[in-house]
Structure 1
């Protein structure tokens, strides 16, 4: 049958007839496949690749923006950074404890001090010259209206950082026992310490974001290949909480001596729970002492008025009724 078709095609189209028929069939198949290709659904893997590429591009643009911003601050770096490396390290650690981890945190901190100090100083001078300037004004009044706002503006960033540090420490202290309990559950369930830290960071995000950030930083640094001991020590410095520093020491000792991390976490978590109960009892015991002064302020004066008031009125009436 194939020979007959070949003979027929050769008789009609010549010796090149079979090749022409094959080429025509290929052309027809290509034309038929074009609509199918146009209607084909996109591959999910291609979507993932495209999304990842867009994310990388956006991160690259963000980095470029940061570099341009850094270039602007670099012009004034000698005025926006301490001259001493020790002082620079202390300020950077303080900002890390407050939750500010950007590369330009130190420069922005000093920039805020300069801008607020100079701005409020200028505003104070203008306000004094326009509204408070009098010939008999004393030097204290001049300093209060002119230098006072500048001093407030210069100290405001330092006060803000101090408040932020205290708030983060309080939040970390409150959430650390719960974090240890969750970490112990994950470790006893068979997860590694790295996986447990990632899970705890995700679960604590809603309740204690500051502590969740610290655990997330640990997980990222461990994935990057940084030494685990150094990672934990850095966490203890960033938090600035004694409980976290003790926890870091416990984990490092357990890793050094080869003891079970689950046992160490179990004992330390029990101690943290007891310590939280002791802190609550301490606050409860301080409450009566704090309430005593308030009770005296709001109770004793009305009581004296009720008891002594009628006698004072009677004495006043007798004095008015006595003959002149």
Structure 2
């Protein structure tokens, strides 16, 4: 079968047919990858552009969500097949997607559709490879693996991508949280209320920490909508799933409950967060020599041994082979 395909390609494309096919595939991959690379969640100049147009951050977020909702209208007709029927599973997936930065209501449906399309598409590619590019001498279990592994990989890759997004987003939030606390403390001490301070912090940190800015903005919008402030703060802690955020929410709730100064609580907690960030940096710096040692052992020691011992071994081998031994 492979010989037949090669002869067909040589007939239509000449002897360099495989090179042409590889080139076209490379161009398609580049064409698909460039839009993904160019899409950025937030740019440093976005805020300046919005301020010139008189658009607030909340309006920009709402416009983005509405556009995404319009794109997913085509999936609404397949909702009964794509949405999980188990409420617990639905809640678990929705929470995972919210933590990954996909808060729109159709996120679970989009994830399910992506899994099905990738699974079926790669399964079809595996079947084509098995039917046309394997020989009769290929074992049967190899053919089954060639067919099934791409399909399984396509089905589970979206979940892997979402989990990586969750970890990356949590890391970004944790890195920017001490700076946000310092700015929040400055706003509170300047005389602004906590709600106004949260909105100002979300606006100011958006270019550097868009994920954390989005969380603060959601808190401000929910408070404006009339929700209870402790419930809103607990929802933020649940969405972020970070110990520092949970402790921060507990501090604010206790400060409001017992009537203590929010500025004093923020001052102490902000100093603690700065110390924890320094400790995390020192921990990474302390682990670095161990990682460098492993790399040195793997890439430096073998060539060094070859350079030092190789000539001696070569001389001994020539002496034993040329002179017939001692």
What is the TM-score of this pair, normalised by structure 2? 0.76
Structure showing greater radius of gyration is 1
Matches within 5 A, 1:128-207: 128-132=130-134, 134-207=135-208
Q: Given the superposition, is the C-alpha separation of residues 145 and 317 from structure 1 closer, same or farther in structure 2, using an over 3 Å criterion?
A: closer
Match of 1:111 in 2: 113
Q: Distance in 2 between matches of 1:273 and 1:145?
A: 52
Aligned counterpart for 1:94 among listed residues 93, 96, 102: 96
Say whether the 8 Å CA contact 2:72–2:106 is kept in structure 1.
Answer: no
Q: Distance in 2 between matches of 1:323 and 1:203?
A: 82
Deviation per CA, 1:105-151: give whole Å up to 9, x if none. Answer: 1111111111111121122212221222x323223211222111111
Q: Given the superposition, is the C-alpha separation of residues 211 and 293 from structure 1 closer, same or farther in structure 2, using an over 3 Å criterion?
A: same
Match of 1:10 in 2: none
> What are the ranges of 5 or more consecutive residues in structure 1 without an aligned counterpart?
1-50
Q: Given the superposition, is the C-alpha separation of residues 298 and 63 from structure 1 closer, same or farther in structure 2, using an over 3 Å criterion?
A: closer
RMSD: 2.4
Say whether the 8 Å CA contact 2:203–2:213 is kept in structure 1.
Answer: yes
Length, aligned pairs only: 266
Query: Does residue 285 in structure 1 map to residue 286 in structure 2?
Result: yes
Matches within 5 A, 1:234-273: 234-273=235-274
Q: Distance in 2 between matches of 1:115 and 1:220?
A: 36
Match of 2:9 in 1: none
Q: Distance in 2 between matches of 1:248 and 1:65?
A: 30
Q: Distance in 2 between matches of 1:150 and 1:110?
A: 14
Match of 2:125 in 1: 123
Deviation per CA, 1:191-215: give whole Å up to 9, x if none. Answer: 1101110110011011011101111
In the TM superposition, what is the alpha-carbon distance from 1:296 to its structure 2 partner?
Answer: 1.5
> What are the ranges of 5 or more consecutive residues in structure 2 without an aligned counterpart?
1-53
Match of 1:215 in 2: 216
Structure of higher RCO (CA pairs closer than 8 Å, 6+ residues apart) = 2
Q: Given the superposition, is the C-alpha separation of residues 101 and 64 from structure 1 closer, same or farther in structure 2, using an over 3 Å criterion?
A: closer
Q: Distance in 2 between matches of 1:64 and 1:183?
A: 31
Aligned to 1:136, the other structure's residue is in SS state coil
Q: Given the superposition, is the C-alpha separation of residues 68 and 125 from structure 1 closer, same or farther in structure 2, using an over 3 Å criterion?
A: closer
Q: Distance in 1 between matches of 2:166 and 2:255?
A: 30
Deviation per CA, 1:10-33: give whole Å up to 9, x if none. Answer: xxxxxxxxxxxxxxxxxxxxxxxx
Q: Distance in 1 between matches of 2:314 and 2:137?
A: 48
In the TM superposition, what is the alpha-carbon distance from 1:311 to its structure 2 partner?
Answer: 2.1
